[in-house]
Structure 1
Amino acid sequence: MATSQPLPPLPPPKWVVELNSPLPRPSASTSSIPDPPGFSRKTGGKNRAEKSSTSSITSNTSKPAETDTLKLKKAWEIAIAPSKSIPMNGIMMYMSGNTLQIFSIMMVFMLFKGPIQGLINTNAVFAKFESETLRGKLLGVKAVYVLVQFALLGLGVWKVNAMGLLPTTRSDWLAWESERQPHETSYFAFG
């Protein structure tokens, strides 16, 4: 009986060996290709992630004024963002017609729902931008945000009025009107 002996392991393929062993670095004098802008050979072994994390730490600690400026700019972007939907909503409300249909009712519901939720969540939207230095400036940003939400609500009120759902005419209040009592009466006479 012959016993089978285990075979020795096969050597790894050439591509695995090349992948695991780094290529030799060319010397600066032998390379004809210039270094890209911003690259420095003096950094040693630091990679891009380490550089960016250290630079972001230093930029955050050394320049709080720039951080406040960026926060204020982002707050203004958020405050003005709902105004970009006013023209689109206006065209959609105009095109949906003035009749009472499920489509136009759903459109009006969505037009009221968004601004009401925005008004309720105003402080929560701008909570991440709150700081002692920005408190006064954020009041103006919040006021613009609230005005834009009221403009969207005004668009909804216009649409509801165009559909005839707002009681704005005298005939809408006939139940509360009393009958007129004439001061004089006249009768037709033949004669």
Structure 2
Amino acid sequence: MIQQKHLYLFIASLISLLVSCSGKMDKAEYAKWVKDYDHGLHAHIAKGAYIFDLQYLPPEYKWLQEGHGQPMEALPEESPIEYYILKVGFKDHSIDLIKGVSEDKNVWEQRAYYFSYQFQDNISLEQDGKHYPCVMFHFEKAFDLRAERNFVLGFAATHAEKSILVIDSPAFGEETIKITINKEDIPTVDL
């Protein structure tokens, strides 16, 4: 009886190993994998008073998030745009990104305008030594009490295995901010 249990455990382990080595995941596993910081598609750094959180959105992940009912074959082979979500906030989560530490409403309006329109001009994506400008930019206005803000970014880049988001913005001080995303060994997903 004990040998039979060991045999079943061995077979179950072997099947699990074979499935995991095949590189294919179901939708829920894939979504969890993409968001996991340990796999390189999601990065988090702190610079000065700010926290930057960058999430790369592989085409298959975007396909899942958009709720397409069509099979994966309907997805274009190479998307011309690489998508990212950048979340920016203060280390002190009680400070709103737009208001900052100022009590002046004019400063709030200037910061809101900057982050809504001009910030995209201070963002680029570096791949293999080339810089690509931000060609798709969306500032998500927060209607809740979150102090951080999300920016949806798109770049007409080459889909290299390593990308570096470069932020050279006066809003965050004089230091250039660089966030690295590694896109090696992205598993396939069963769609």
Structure label with greater radius of gyration: 1
Q: What TM-score, normalized by structure 2, do the two folds share?
A: 0.21
Q: Larger helix proportion, structure 1 or 2?
A: 1
Structure 1 length as normaliser, TM-score?
A: 0.21
